[in-house]
Amino acid sequence: LGILYGLSASFFISVMSACVKMTSYYFFLLVATRSALQIVLLHPIIIYQQIDIRKSFRLPQAYFVFGRAIAETISVSCQFYAYQNMNIGDAAAIIYSSPFITGILAAIFLKEKFTLFNLLATIVSFGGVILVSKPPFIFGSGEGDGTQTNFGVAGIAFCGAICTSIAILNVRKIGNSVDTYVLTYYFSIVCCIVPLIITGITGSFELPPCGSRRLLLLTIGLLGFLGHLSFVKAIQLEEAMLVAVIRTVDVLFGYVLEITVFGTTPSILSIIGAFLVVSS
């Protein structure tokens, strides 16, 4: 059941990433919009099921609940930026290289097994990330400044992968002691307030007009909501590293969407790198 939840999360998030790429709005505004819609959708569920959201304030659960919310907020922001500024499949390959980070951190903090096979998979996955990100100190300057720019975006995507791993560890530490909806609720609040503050400070807040552009933003929020719930439920039912590995299916979905929707063909190095990440 946990595997099915993980695959469902991959599908929803992949389609959402394509919608993010279609928009021209500031990525922090997209993050805030998605989170605001999640809050609206969660309220009826929490009220209907009579869930007490105050239980999560009890220590030590509160540390992990808010630690997870902060880590996931940074992760989502990095992901949205990457989706807007690079190939969806490439971004997904870097973001979902998080299993090797998750495996190392889970072995240290959660005492989960980290075998020789896990180590080999980690090396292969990291090699795939190198091929996708194409760091200029290995591959040269490339064409103009494009490689340097892409490497900078790739670096942000990798930061998102690290934060995803930290969020996974927090949810795994919590286990089933906190309801899935409560976890998503607190994350949505943090992920809505923080980006709104940033857009207010930078003066980049923009209210989308009625019509297809606003409908696209609502679609991003709905897909993000469904993907997030599926993701959290998968982590609660399965081992942290297994869920992270299942989510690498996003890479395949990402390339399919990039080719079919945007008509962009990924480079050979990107395909090889993505294959290494998924195969690991």
56/48: higher pLDDT = 48
Mean pLDDT lowest among 21-30, 140-149, 188-197, 243-252: 140-149
* Percentage with pLDDT > 90 across the chain: 18
The SS3 assignment for 280 reads coil
Q: State how far the alpha carbon of 154 is from the alpha carbons of 29, 150, 157, 167, 212, in Å.
A: 21, 6, 5, 20, 30
pLDDT band of 270, cuts 50, 70, 90: confident
pLDDT tens for 157-215 read 999 999 989 998 888 888 777 887 888 899 999 999 999 999 888 887 777 777 777 88
Task: Name, in order, each residue with C-beta under 8 angstroms of 7's C-beta and a sequence gap of 6 or more.
Answer: 246, 249
Q: pLDDT at residue 65 above 60?
A: yes
